Homo-oligomer: A and B are copies of this chain.
Amino acid sequence: MTGRLDPRESWSAIDRCSIGKALDVLRNRSTFLLMREAFYGTTRFEDFAERVGLSDPVTAARLRELVDEGLLEREDYREPGKRTRQRYRLTEKGSDLLPTLVALMQWGDRWENDGGGVELRHQGCGAKVGVELRCADGHALDAGDMELAARRRRRAGP
C-alpha cells in the first residue's frame, strides 16, 4: 500500500483501530463460524453446536457473547403441539458482517481450498459472488490506489 501515514512514528493503530475493535467482538474461530451458520440459515442451539463442531458449553458461551454484543438476538418460538423454544436470528449489526465472511470465503477458496465447499451465487444471474474494493464514488481499485489518512477522534464535550 502506498501513501502510508507520515511520519510513521507519530501514530499507532493500537488503541483506535477499527480492525482491532472488530476483532475484540469476533474473538476467535468459532465466533466467525457461528456467524457463518447464522447466514446459512441455522437458528437452533443444537444445530449451531453440531454444524460448527462445538461442545454444548462452548456453543452456549459463544452464542451468549454474540447476543451480548448485539450480533444475534434470541426469540421464543413454538411449533404446533410442542413446548416453547428459543432460536437465534441475525440482527442488523450481525447481518452487516456478510462482506467480511464473503471476503474470508473468497480468500479461502483461492488459497486454502481445492474447489470444494459451498459457493455463493447471485440469484438474478447465477454468477459467483465476491467482494470488491471500491471507493465511495464507485471506482474499483486495488492496494496501489489507496492511501491511509488519520481520522480525527470525536471528543466528548468542551
Contact = CB atoms under 8 A, between A and B. Distances in A.
A1 interface: yes
Interface of A: 1-5, 8, 11-14, 16-29, 32-33, 36-37, 39-41, 50-53, 70, 93, 95-125, 127-137, 139, 141-143, 145-154
Q: What is the total number of copies of this protein in its complex?
A: 2
A114 B147 contact: no
Contact of A135 (B13, B26, B128, B154): B128
A131 B133 contact: yes
A25 to B, nearest CB: 6
B116 A153 contact: yes
A135 B102 CA distance: 11
Contacts of A105: 17-19, 22
Contact of A112 (B22, B33, B103, B149): B22
Contacts of A116: 16, 151-154
